[in-house]
Structure 1
Amino acid sequence: MNLENQIYVRKSCRNYTDEEIDMTPIHEFISNVKPLDDSIKYDYEILTNDKVNIRTRWQAPYYLALFSEKNGNYLENLGFIFQQLSLYLQSIDIGSCWVGMASLKEKRDDFVISISFGKSDKMTRDRSAFKRKSLAEISDYADEKLIPAQLAPSAINSQPWYFKHSNDGFDVYQIKQNIIKRQVLKKWNPIDVGISLAHMYVANEENFEFYKKTDFENIKGYTYTGSIKI
């Protein structure tokens, strides 16, 4: 299954119909999804909107509640796994959006974040409509191989990823936000980096590999996440 073309038209969806959805393909896709770190245990649950405390002006008929053990790159791992699902949903005409401003009515300590989804006729856009940093701003030099990461969605469009070229790919960093933004984005930005890595994986599926270095370069204003081969 090639989901790469969805990267270039994807739109975070906030307009939904109440049409019912067969969840079988969604469960099947998740059962075969590639994790960033297969040692981290995670789980999910599909909920109707009456099971969710929604603090947005809009709502969807369905929400994916995402859970994880809090270990290692667990936030990046969730972003990586479920952005693949988001691209898949779009490929079968289902819109979705990452939702930080929602909680579960039945509390679980391992709940992390949710994704809204449902049928919609407003879930794609032209490439020119993306408002993103330039390739030179997200890397040590502009490289078109990074366009999939450049187009990834992020909390309040913060685009916290930074890629430094290495011999076989890229070292990946997260921007250290200022003290005001840090309070809002400290949890969401690692997920955002995972989302950008999911786009890099989907665009380079046969060669993609994520790993951690011990001899990475410390870059002022950034935190090292890991490295990728593509």
Structure 2
Amino acid sequence: MLEIVDIKKSYGKKEVLKGVSFTVEKGDFLAIIGKNGVGKTTLTNIICQLVKQDSGKVKYGFQEKDIYSKIGVQTQSGDFDDRLKVDDMCTLWRKIYNVDATKVDQLLERFDLTGVRKQYIKTLSGGQKQKLNILLSLLNDPELLILDELTTSLDAISRHEMRKYLKQLNEQGKTIVMISHYMDEVEDLCNKVVVLKDGEVEQTTSPRALIGSKYNSLQQYFVECV
């Protein structure tokens, strides 16, 4: 589905990514973890062609020209025009992707946003904006879903429901790449973890293998090793 080959990226004299390589297989639920500033968001932006790498290659399991119909992206902070209403934003994206209006209705209901669809985006809570951000990333039914800090701003119940929904999507065959600082989330959802440290891949393995017999949880591993 996706192969990252020796990706390097610097901003001025700061070398953020120093030759990152790993593979995402079809059906994976893969987490990229690491401390703040290690290059996780930069890497996902490169995958989505929002940022250009200095060297290296991203190989897709589909025609590169089709990237925006094949990938869905939930960014860390959704940038919405506050002059628009929820319905306006959904209609715009629906027309871009040529999606039936019933799909929008279903997702609005699924994410408990039906009641605010006529509201201006600026009136939404942080959690509601995050749900809208995730909804828009799913409208085109992407083959590859990329989530950057998925559950930021969500309350405990919404986090639980979102995790359950994503697990269902993955079980139905959708490939998901996720950045998260919630290690319980990674441990619960993901079959593969890429650990970034000092701009490099320290290891690529499963959550269970990272924990091994030495740690009680992925959170303990993260605190002590990352």
Q: Is TM > 0.5 for Structure 1 vs Structure 2? A: no
The structure with the largest helix share of the pair is: 2
| Bigger RCO of structures 1 and 2 (CA < 8 A, at least 6 apart) | 2
Higher-Rg structure is 2
- With the length of structure 2 as denominator, give the TM-score of the two structures: 0.31
